[in-house]
Amino acid sequence: MIEQAKSRPDWALGFADEVWFSRLAQPSLCAWSLPGEPARLYQKEPDKGDTGGKALACYGLYLPESPPAERMLLRFAGGRPVSALTCPFLEWVCERLRASGKRVLLLFWDNASWHISRQVRRWIRQHNRRAKEEGGLRLLAVRLPTRSPWLNAIEAKWVHGKRAVTEPRRVLSPDELTDRLCRYYQCQKMEALS
């Protein structure tokens, strides 16, 4: 299926997943210090008036065959990933890809409960039915085996993004964090899903 998607210009190959970008925890990084000086680890604490939450939830779609400025599509979420947010994310993705001339999205994602929920499966069926009738973009969702994150190409993108935007000594505001992530992934900052 991947070869078929790559060989057809009206198909898009995508890897989707959700991630939490922590404002407090440091990602796994290599560290060093000057000779004779100990390495310092800083425990980040939010300011007393900070109401931004400990982390930001983010939906993402990685399109490896697209131009660099269109490879990552991100939508931050006002809460945790659930079926009620997954459907609007999929709808937004389908609209974007249809506008760029795509007719089919071959979507790989894991078996998260909100991916396999009745609500999402029903939304995909209804969407594909409408797409067939009206000539829209069809969505072919392929679930990856459980406990196999290495098969989802977006997973490595999340790790690199977390390392690239981290701030070692201070807590970034939610807006600063989303701005840095959008710059890093070269994507447009969009309104949060809610």
pLDDT for 46 equals 67
pLDDT for 22 equals 83
Express each pLDDT in 110-128 by its tens digit: 999 999 999 999 999 999 9
pLDDT for 117 equals 94
SS (H, E, C) the chain: CHHHHHHCCCEEEEEEEEEEEECCCCCCCCCCCCCCCCCCCCCCCCCCCCCCCCEEEEEEEECCCCCHHHCEEEEEECCCCCHHHHHHHHHHHHHHHHHCCCCEEEEEECCCCCCCCHHHHHHHHHHHHHHHHHCCCEEEEEECCCCCHHHCCHHHHHHHHHHHHCCCCCCCCHHHHHHHHHHHCCCCCCCCEC
CATH numbers and ranges of domains, the chain: 2-24+50-184 (3.30.420.10)
- Average the pLDDT over each of 22-36, 142-156, 167-181 and give the range with the smallest value: 22-36
Q: What percent of the chain has pLDDT over 90?
A: 63
pLDDT exceeds cutoff 70 at 40: no
Average pLDDT value for residue range 62-67: 94
